[in-house]
Amino acid sequence: MLFNSYEFLVIFLPLVLFVYWQLSTNHRRAAIGWITLASFFFYGWQTPYFLTLLVGSLIANYTISTAMSRVACGGWLRRTLLLLGVVVNLGVIGYFKYSFFVVENVNFLVGTAFKWHQLILPTGISFYTFQQIAYLVDRYRDEIENYSFLDYCLFVTFFPQLIAGPIVHPKEMLPQFMSGETHPKASHFAVGLTIFFIGLFKKTFIADGLITLSGPVFDAAQQGHGSNLIDSWFAALAYTLQLYFDFSGYSDMAIGLGRMFGIRLPMNFNSPYKAVNIIEFWRCWHITLSRFLRDYIYFPLGGSRLGPSRRYLNLMATMLLGGLWHGAGWTYILWGALHGLFLIVNHSWIATKKRFGMDSLAPRWQHVALARSVTFAAVVAGWVVFRAPNLQSAGTMFQSMLGMNGVALPLKWLTGPENLLGVMTLLQTSGVMFSDLRVVHGRDEVIHLAALLAIVWFAPNTQQIMSDWEPVYETLSIDAAKRRLIWQPTPKWAFVCSVVTVLAILQISRATEFLYFQF
């Protein structure tokens, strides 16, 4: 079931909320049982087979965690049980997500002809698998108590974050369900509903509208057909913005849904395109995945404790695994390697500045603008690889973006071309062509992308707008200059939110999956 579908908005959500609030005041265990049952129904709505896999995973992981609680902390048996749990989880995700990729590449490298069908990837398997690994590790370290099986099921399957995150920790979630904060409150519903419909607007009105601006050029690259420089950059920027508003929209909707139930989910998205370096980008993009990779891969590998060389090796290994987590394909591995390289360069530059005493110099606004532009260009380059179905089409896109397939300026941009004949002739002798582009139909599309870029670079994000109402697990702040944009329960904001809601719902002509659902 999709958040952006009528059956979810009109039937499932109102019914689940109504019953939950009726039970939550005096029957906490029944309320927890109800929301857990609803989450199972939500997950199995389209493919019941995947629900069987999820239930089996829950039983196996809870059995192992319970067994760990019965043996001495730090003993060999406890370590063995943890290793067993991690291996089982990675084995399941490896079978469904990576087996075809491995067999395909073994056949290519060795010349064998093993037969293996590409399996349908269970929805959300990467998210709930990582979440259960985190639970096992925290239980191994005695950082959490041994919860009941019902509580454990709720922690893993809570439907607002089940399919595509955020990846949560039990110490963040379960104490909230046990506390009185989840009792019915009008503020919970008002804040949650506002955040949810802002997210829905981002998904249906903005992100889905960008598909037609990026798809044709990437599809042409998949067929081996290059595009001109303007088309290719326009498509790359359109996809960059599509992914931003799609994932930002999902994150808002998940946070809004959680808040309707009185639960504050951790922040998962914090204006990453405002980042002035790649380190900051990864602190703001898919925050809970970055946290998982840091806590359960980077730190156990040694982090930065073993010297610069080992630190850079750990960064590259972590980002390669992060890329592979997104999908079984060389493009994802290359994307992870690119960001690993970007992080190494970023840390090396910081170390160099510190060595020469430049780290204490306050950056001027020109330097900040340049740093943000360079970071954004690196991110766009990474998204091209991320979006491309294979390395060949990624290479074709980069050739086009470097102008190797020509530069074409659209005639529709020009007014009074008879007055520009001399300029056009001069440009044509330099290899510039004039044509009607496949993607850039005119100034409207350029203005559209420019407006969206201005929003992601300069406007406060949803959580900042709602910061007075503690929308997420963390504490947020907003610049004093932007405080006039903070949401308040006033008629003005009610009107604005009503318009956003109507526009978002009217765009649900066809429920499209969120981009991160495929991971």
Residues designated catalytic: 326
Q: Residue 332: how many CA atoms within 13 Å on its side-chain side?
A: 14
Look at residue 167 and give its three-state secondary structure. coil
CA-wise closest residue to 260 among 207, 199, 208: 199
Distance, in Å, from the CA atom of 150 to the CA atom of 362, rounded to the nearest integer, reads 52
Q: Nearest 5°: CA angle at 36, between 35 and 38?
A: 60
Distance, in Å, from the CA atom of 40 to the CA atom of 32, rounded to the nearest integer, reads 12
User: Which position has the token pair 């048996």?
Assistant: 77
Please report, as a single letter, which amino acid is at residue 100: F
Q: Rounded to a whole number, what is the largest CA-CA distance in the chain? A: 86
Please report, as a single letter, which amino acid is at residue 211: I
Distance, in Å, from the CA atom of 300 to the CA atom of 322, rounded to the nearest integer, reads 15
Locate 312 and state its tokens: 């850079």
Q: What are phi and psi of 433, to 5 degrees?
A: -105, 160
Length of the chain (residues): 519
- Cα dist from 507 to 198, 209, 289, 306, 510, whole Å: 13, 9, 30, 53, 8
DSSP state of 435: E
Distance, in Å, from the CA atom of 124 to the CA atom of 419, rounded to the nearest integer, reads 58
The CA-based dihedral angle spanning residues 198, 203, 204, 206, taken in that order and rounded to the nearest 10 degrees: 90
Locate 503 and state its tokens: 């526009």
- By the 10 Å C-beta count (0-12 exposed, 13-18 middle, 19+ buried), 270 is classed as buried
CA-wise closest residue to 24 among 185, 191, 175, 184: 184
Distance, in Å, from the CA atom of 506 to the CA atom of 300, rounded to the nearest integer, reads 48
- CA quadruple 430, 449, 401, 379: dihedral positive or negative? positive
Distance, in Å, from the CA atom of 148 to the CA atom of 150, rounded to the nearest integer, reads 5
Look at residue 33 and give its three-state secondary structure. helix
